[in-house]
Amino acid sequence: MAGAPTDIERIMAPDAVAVVGASTDETKRGHQAIVTLQEGGYEGDIYPVNPNAEEIRGLDVYPAVSAIPGRVDLALIVTPAHIVPSVLEDCAETDLAGAVVIAVGFSEAGENGEQLEAEIVSLAREHGIRLIGPNTSGMINVHRGLNLVGADTVPEGSLALLCQSGNMAISLFTEAATREGVGFSHYVGVGNEADLQFHEYLPFLDADPETDAIVCYVEGMSDGRAFLQAARDIVPETPIVVLKSGRSDVGKRSASSHTGSLAGDAAVTDAVLEQAGVVSVERSDELLSVANALSSLPRADSPNVGILADGGGHATLAADACSERGLSIPRLTDQTQERLQAVLPDAASVVNPVDVAGGTDNDQSVFVDCAAAIIADPNVDALMLTGLFGGYGVRFAEQYTDVEIEAARELASLAADHDTPLVVQSAYEGFDTEPHAVLREQGIPVVESLDVATASLSALATYGDRVAVADQSSDFQLPAATTDDTLADTIGNGRTQLSEFEAKRALADDGFPVTPFDLATSADEAAALAADIDGPVAMKVVSPDIVHKSDAGGVALNVGLDAAAATYEDLCSAAAEYDPDASLDGVLISPMRDAGVELIIGVVDDDQFGPVVMCGLGGVFVEVLEDIAFRALPLTEADARAMLDDIEAQELLDGARGNPPVDRDAVVDLLVAVSTFVQANPSVTELDLNPVFADADGVEIVDAAITLDEQPQQHTKNEDTESAAPSQGETDD
């Protein structure tokens, strides 16, 4: 942090803080804030602000921020909501970098609140002040003793917490307080994200020497795409772990009434966070432990875990838990097994998981011998010690404590020497024993829950791959369109829904592999086109007014050559009957194809993350099983490959049921091409290729639908594109 500090540095590590709304009344937040600052050991300047007081706890009180003689970095504003605008006005001429706005009653509280929030954002921007909140519990710089929250004791450590719930923050502080070795560097209650948003804290925390990992509790992000971008840039150095709530429908409803945030689709959120190299956890009881493991341990080079257990039960359960999380428990080499056999009783299992079978009952240094053998094994890149370690002194005989302490020291050294992550699960975690303290001092996590221990190992094992994929991702900032958006012009008339013929033509013109198609505008022409095609044909009515062709009786499959002309008439009559006012462009004629594997590929617009590519297996897989992969646009080849790996039933791509494997490269190319197409045509709000047939020879788009925005526009904000396009004509499909 050389040179003049940036605004965000002055906000996150201020040298001088004003408390606006400071109070002489000891029960008031405006008083407690001063107490907390003084007692927390904050060494910067503290300026109470209150027009009606002269002195609070030995400090001079100023009538306004503008009246403070020195430079103030940050103002903590504890006044009610309606006072905030005048406070910001008063700061117009000061060099204030930022303000923390505690008050509720803004956008989370309905229309009036939304107006007030817009007003303070506007004032803040005008006066060059960044805002944290409003509707926040505050912020804390733990190492500086700067506690603007009033939270009791926040254990010091290396985790930064960005949090959208004050009570969740208290929960996490409390959890850390009972888990030795876990603590915090910074806390920010991001509140309504009216100005400063989640992503804007990331570069500061990445550069902060006191922060090793970032923990986020997110209900909804106001700029998800910017978060992806900022996250991707820092994850190689600073891991980010996110707990996203509002996963269920009821949860979404609850989250939106809480912070006024939109809680988007959990499947999309999980997928795009993975794309950016962020680790997601689904359970709140895993958040802190996973983050702690990522902050203090090296990454594993592979998902291959060695399990060292002091009993068969723990060995078996650990193997189950690891398998459940996608970790592997490879056989140890013969050499390793011999080393283990040499120090363990005959009853021991030495294949992996290793069960010492009583071999450590009287001498816990045997754990070190075993760990040394396992860690040296080339098949293994991470180690879990599970069972009772650290509790032998408590459980069996006091003299074991010293043996365990020495063993703990050696285990930590071993792990450090081999740069191998080691996680210790112990039933005695709650006893805060000395051997556990030794492990924790060396950065080795000790956890009580086997499942939480496994979640931590899993994060360490997948983290490297994630960062590598993220590193190959494009920038998430959507570039301005590089070509003119001609699609909308092409179809004209303010229409938003392209016919299948128009959609296929646009795609085919762009080089997409579309099943051959042509438009017949008469029965004779239909017969002629069918004659040009080898084998039976598919015929579909084309009308700008009919979206659901099947419902209209407008689709005929497997039509023989002789029947093509009659079928043309049938389809047109059926369409006319379905909607007498529909204008008919003709009938689309294509050869019939064998399905191979049916895919659905599309682009949808996510509330938080913008345009997102989706891909799934056709039919029930998407519709019933919701087995769908998502990635934020623009897609790289690595992203597209990762999407296919995300599909649970992907076995079907690899030749299940006696079929030859699908040409994955062709699917990957198609996914990337879809991404490129939508970027180049920013008026496209929805694209649906359903079905796409894939087999060993490639892919073919069999049906396509494209929906445009009401008026041509670019994904990036562009204020020149206001036009008077008609506002009706939206499809509600």
**Bridge partner residues of 161 (DSSP):** 187, 215
Residue whose CB is less far from a second copy, 149 or 520: 149
Residue whose CB is less far from a second copy, 109 or 376: 109
Residue whose CB is less far from a second copy, 279 or 491: 279
Contact flags string 290-319 toward a second copy, x per CB under 8 A? -------------------xxxxxxxxx-x
Under the binding rule (CB under 8 A), the answer on residue 353 touching a second copy is yes
Residue whose CB is less far from a second copy, 304 or 567: 304
Site for a second copy in 449-478 (CB under 8 A): 449-452
Q: Which of 677, 646, 373 is nearest to 506 (CA)?
A: 677
Site for a second copy in 192-251 (CB under 8 A): 217, 219, 243, 245-251
Phi/psi at 198 (nearest 5 deg)?
-40, -50
Q: Which of 610, 609, 649, 608 is nearest to 628 (CA)?
A: 649
Q: Which of 204, 428, 568, 630 binds a second copy (CB under 8 A)?
A: 428
∠ CA(68), CA(70), CA(73), 5° rounding? 95
Residue whose CB is less far from a second copy, 388 or 439: 388
**Nearest distance, CB of residue 176 and a second copy, angstroms:** 10
Under the binding rule (CB under 8 A), the answer on residue 379 touching a second copy is no
**Nearest distance, CB of residue 265 and a second copy, angstroms:** 13
CB distance 284 to 174 below 8 Å:
no
Q: Which of 77, 255, 411, 678 binds a second copy (CB under 8 A)?
A: 255
Q: How far is CA 377 from the centre of its chain?
A: 34
**Nearest distance, CB of residue 648 and a second copy, angstroms:** 8
Q: Which stretch binds a second copy (CB under 8 A): 205-213, 232-240, 443-451, 567-575?
A: 443-451
Residue whose CB is less far from a second copy, 40 or 298: 40
Contact flags string 631-670 toward a second copy, x per CB under 8 A? -----------------xx-xx---xx-------------
- Say which amino acid occupies 692: V
Q: Which stretch binds a second copy (CB under 8 A): 66-74, 85-93, 372-380, 391-399?
A: 391-399
**The CA-based dihedral angle spanning residues 133, 136, 141, 146, taken in that order and rounded to the nearest 10 degrees:** 110
* 702 CB burial (10 A radius; 0-12, 13-18, 19+): buried
Q: How far is CA 383 from the centre of its chain?
A: 27
Residue whose CB is less far from a second copy, 351 or 696: 351
DSSP state of 430: G
Q: Where are the beta strands (DSSP E) in 506-569?
A: 518-520, 537-542, 555-559
Under the binding rule (CB under 8 A), the answer on residue 161 touching a second copy is no
Q: Which of 52, 167, 482, 723 binds a second copy (CB under 8 A)?
A: 167
Through-space distance between the first and last CA atoms of the chain, rounded to whole angstroms: 52
Site for a second copy in 485-524 (CB under 8 A): none
The CA distance from 277 to 269, in Å, is 12
**Nearest distance, CB of residue 353 and a second copy, angstroms:** 5
∠ CA(217), CA(218), CA(221), 5° rounding? 150
Under the binding rule (CB under 8 A), the answer on residue 549 touching a second copy is no
CB distance 636 to 616 below 8 Å:
no
**Nearest distance, CB of residue 650 and a second copy, angstroms:** 9
CB distance 353 to 309 below 8 Å:
yes
DSSP state of 290: H
**Nearest distance, CB of residue 417 and a second copy, angstroms:** 27
Site for a second copy in 356-375 (CB under 8 A): none
**Nearest distance, CB of residue 89 and a second copy, angstroms:** 26
Bond prior to 580 in cis (omega within 30° of 0): no
**Nearest distance, CB of residue 646 and a second copy, angstroms:** 15
Q: How far is CA 721 from the centre of its chain?
A: 32
**Nearest distance, CB of residue 682 and a second copy, angstroms:** 34
Q: Which of 21, 133, 166, 445 binds a second copy (CB under 8 A)?
A: 166
Contacts (Cβ under 8 Å, ≥6 apart) of 40: 145, 146, 147
Under the binding rule (CB under 8 A), the answer on residue 625 touching a second copy is yes
499-506, long-range: CB < 8 A, 24+ apart: 499/542, 499/543, 499/544, 499/585, 500/540, 500/542, 500/549, 500/588, 500/703, 500/704, 500/705, 501/542, 501/585, 501/586, 501/588, 502/706, 503/704, 503/705, 503/706, 504/588, 504/701, 504/704, 506/706
Q: Which of 180, 363, 448, 579 binds a second copy (CB under 8 A)?
A: 448
Under the binding rule (CB under 8 A), the answer on residue 259 touching a second copy is yes
Residue whose CB is less far from a second copy, 354 or 633: 354
* Buried b or exposed e, range 29-46, using 16+ CB within 10 angstroms: bbbebbebbeebebebbb
Under the binding rule (CB under 8 A), the answer on residue 112 touching a second copy is no
Under the binding rule (CB under 8 A), the answer on residue 347 touching a second copy is yes
Residue whose CB is less far from a second copy, 39 or 637: 39
CB distance 542 to 586 below 8 Å:
yes
User: Would you tell me how many other CB atoms lie within 10 Å of the CB of residue 389?
Assistant: 27
Under the binding rule (CB under 8 A), the answer on residue 623 touching a second copy is yes
Residue whose CB is less far from a second copy, 170 or 604: 170
The CA distance from 586 to 472, in Å, is 45
Residue whose CB is less far from a second copy, 323 or 490: 323
Residue whose CB is less far from a second copy, 430 or 661: 430
Q: Which of 470, 480, 472, 481 is nearest to 227 (CA)?
A: 470
Rg, the chain, Cα only: 31
Residue whose CB is less far from a second copy, 63 or 105: 105
Phi/psi at 492 (nearest 5 deg)?
60, -170
Site for a second copy in 263-292 (CB under 8 A): 263, 282-285
Residue whose CB is less far from a second copy, 307 or 527: 307
Under the binding rule (CB under 8 A), the answer on residue 576 touching a second copy is no
Residue whose CB is less far from a second copy, 1 or 351: 351
Q: How many residues bind a second copy (CB under 8 A)?
A: 85
The CA distance from 81 to 285, in Å, is 34
Site for a second copy in 51-110 (CB under 8 A): 104-105, 108-109
**Nearest distance, CB of residue 90 and a second copy, angstroms:** 27
Q: Which stretch binds a second copy (CB under 8 A): 192-200, 383-391, 437-445, 586-594?
A: 383-391
Residue whose CB is less far from a second copy, 242 or 470: 242
